[in-house]
Amino acid sequence: MARINYDLQNDVLDDTQRVVTSTWSDNTNALTAVHTSSIQADFSSATSKGAFFIDVYHLATDSGGEIQYSIAYGHKAGSGSLNFTNSENAYGISPTRVNYNQYRQLVFGDENQQFTFPGDGTTDAFVPDDIYIININRARYKNNLKPSTLNLKLSGSEIGFLELTDDSITSTGSAVVTNAGRQFNIVSGSSGIRLGDSNIQVTNSGSYGLFYPDSGFIILNPAAISHHITESSPDLSSNLANNNHQKLLDCINGGNSFIVDSEEKISSKYYFTRIKNSEFNFTTNPSFIDDTGNLRYSSMENNPKVYITTIGLYNDTDDLIAVAKLSQPIAKDFSKEALIRVKLDY
């Protein structure tokens, strides 16, 4: 078997590209309808799955619908949902409190820090007690969600539509780095470009939310959203199944458009296999040799013609680690040279 040793400086090239695709199933660009499961979205008790979150599907579940994202509501003190028990020391221990604590641990790694939405330097940052959460299903995206592709439309009877995006283009990619990765503000606008000149979207309430593309979730600011869309205003009654996340889901359903793209980093290594005219002109097929070591076919003696069909890549200990099959054989003799590019993606 003939071999070539690669010159790592001249024959091997590393390359990295980012591939962007739609996040949603079937390569759908915009989700225009909301489908849920009555089995999953069960609000009958504090421990029901629906009390914590609602899964959203791209099709009806009996038509093969797959989970696209989940919606939840969190409250620092546990308001807006049933308590797990009615014992005296368990007041406020509820699904909404669990949700709030879970996401602040993800973002801050601290069970005491709260979500804040930006001020303008003269106005203090807004620190609400509650949040809405949109968590993109992990199976829907590759490495991360792509900043500047978020376009979420919410509907309301007074404003009509509120169109939200992240501010990654306006901020020229500058982001706050958290335990959950990059953090961008969610603002009014489209495709990463903010409308207006301030991240304060509602006076005394800050921005509309925060976008974490590396971890695949969105935190929305209920106070700012409900300023324009009253239907999304949470009911903060204690020990009641207020199902506030259903309110946000209704606003998304009415908006009929949720777009966000997935981004994947593909690393490639190219091996440029250079075959000179004097190389690889004889076959290594043992059937061409008779029992005495002579060629069986006289056509292989003076100016033989062979065909290159496969390239195997070996490591330093002669272990075969990859095989490249050519789309069609390449004829080779003493009058021909070849350059074959082998590409490995990983």
Q: Which pair of tokens denotes residue 308?
A: 């290159």
Q: What is the per-residue pLDDT for 1?
A: 59
> Is residue 196 over pLDDT 80?
yes
HEC per residue, the chain: CCCCCCCCCCCEEEEEEEEEEECCHHHCCCECCCECCCCCCCCCCCCCHHHHEEEEECCCHHHCCCEEEEEEEEECCCCCCCCCCCCHHHCCCCHHHHHHHHHHHHHHCCCCCCCCECCCCCCCCECCCEEEEEEECHHHCCCEECCCCCEEEEEECCCEEEEEEECCCCCCCCCEEECCEEEEEEEEEECCEECCCCCCCECCCECCEEEECCCCEEEECHHHHHHHCHHHCCCCCCCCCCCHHHHHHHHHHHHCCEECEEEEEEEEEEEEEEECCCCCCCCCCHHHECCCCCECCHHHCCCCCEEEEEEEEECCCCCEEEEEEEEEEEEECCCCCEEEEEEEEC
User: pLDDT category, 119, cuts 50, 70, 90?
Assistant: low
Least confident of 39-48, 169-178, 285-294, 302-311: 285-294
Other beta carbons within 10 angstroms of residue 174's beta carbon come to: 10
Q: Which pair of tokens denotes residue 91?
A: 């007041």
> Is residue 42 over pLDDT 60?
yes
Other beta carbons within 10 angstroms of residue 203's beta carbon come to: 11
- One-letter amino acid at 58 equals H
**What is the rounded average pLDDT for all residues in the chain?**
90
Closest CA to 74 of 130, 118, 150, 20: 130
Q: What is the per-residue pLDDT for 288?
A: 75
> Is residue 115 over pLDDT 90?
yes
Distance (Å) of CA 186 to CA 52, 87, 149, 150, 192: 23, 39, 12, 9, 9
Q: What is the per-residue pLDDT for 174?
A: 82
User: pLDDT category, 306, cuts 50, 70, 90?
Assistant: confident
CB 251 within 8 Å of CB 131: no
Q: What is the per-residue pLDDT for 293?
A: 73
Distance CA 221, CA 208 (A): 5
Q: What is the per-residue pLDDT for 289?
A: 78
> Is residue 121 over pLDDT 80?
no
Residue with more model confidence, 110 or 89: 110
Least confident of 172-181, 292-301, 319-328: 292-301
CB 150 within 8 Å of CB 163: no
Q: Which pair of tokens denotes residue 229?
A: 């869309």
User: pLDDT category, 32, cuts 50, 70, 90?
Assistant: very high
Q: What is the pLDDT of residues 198-240, one digit of tens each?
A: 888 887 888 999 999 999 999 999 999 999 999 999 999 888 8
Above pLDDT 90, what percent of the chain? Answer: 66
Closest CA to 235 of 46, 79, 41, 100: 79
**Which residues make beta-bridge pairs with 187?**
165
- Ranked by mean pLDDT, the top range of 11-20, 66-75, 118-127 is 66-75
Closest CA to 201 of 123, 274, 134, 136: 123
Angle at alpha carbon of residue 218, lines to 235 and 130, rounded to 5°:
30
Q: What is the pLDDT of residues 56-65, one digit of tens each?
A: 999 999 899 9
Backbone angles phi, psi at 116, to 5 degrees: -125, 150
- Ranked by mean pLDDT, the top range of 111-115, 125-129, 145-149 is 145-149
Q: What is the per-residue pLDDT for 122?
A: 54
